[in-house]
Amino acid sequence: MNQSDVCQSQKDQKNITLIVQAQKGDDSAKDTLFELNTGLIWSVVRKFVNRGYELEDLFQIGCIGFLKAVEKFDTSYNVCFSTYAVPMIMGEIRRFLRDDGIIRVSRSVKEAYSKIRAAREILLKQNGEEPTISEIAKFTGLKDEEIVVAMEANAFPESLYTDNSDNDKSSGQLIDKLSNDEDEEEEKIINNIVLKDVLKTLSNRDKKIID
């Protein structure tokens, strides 16, 4: 593990600790989370440059999405918070822009999407199963957050997020548990991203129990 990985892991652990406190009503923990993750919010906001709005205004909208991510994130799953937060932030901004019909996908996001599609096809053929976000990141050299942004912006094929509720009743129930009626479509995508990576971390024994 290199130095950047160590730093990221430490930040993830600090995020989790603060999220637990914030979900219990600790406003100072929320403030600290904002300070730690301002760069993450801005990284998403900048994907929407030249949309006819000041970036500061979009940042405020992104902060709403970030707060929703803090409120809804389940700390019991072995998933990086930023992987969950990015599509929540992006979804909030997209809803805001959708009202004016001015959503456009940047060239860099389109290029990332092309890499992701190619990686997905190769990994699917190699492993015989849908790749996780982490596997695609390792193959393409992209960050997890960049992959999530590209998939969200380009309406990545449903197959990557498909729950196996027809064949795996427990998985389907887990997704239902994670879903929220308020933002059903967006939540389905996010929750399946989380579920896919969580299932990859289970031992063979635990997988058999779920099956």
Angle at 5 between CA 143 and CA 73, to 5 degrees: 65
- What are the tens digits of pLDDT across the range 22-58? 999 999 999 999 999 999 999 999 888 877 778 888 9
Residue 26's pLDDT is: 92
Residue 194's pLDDT is: 53
Higher pLDDT, 39 or 3: 39
Among left, alpha and beta (phi > 0; psi -120 to 50; other), residue 95 is: alpha
Quote the pTM value. Answer: 0.52
In the chain the domains, ranked by start, together with CATH numbers, are 1-101 (1.20.120.1810), 105-157 (1.10.10.10), 161-211 (no CATH)
- What are the tens digits of pLDDT across the range 91-134? 888 888 876 555 555 677 778 888 888 888 889 888 888 888 88
User: What span, in angstroms and rounded, lies between the C-alpha atoms of 52 and 127?
Assistant: 44
Q: Which string of DSSP letters, residue by residue, matches 38-96?
A: HHHHHHHHGGGTTSSS-HHHHHHHHHHHHHHHHHH--TTS---HHHHHHHHHHHHHHHH
User: What span, in angstroms and rounded, lies between the C-alpha atoms of 3 and 6?
Assistant: 5
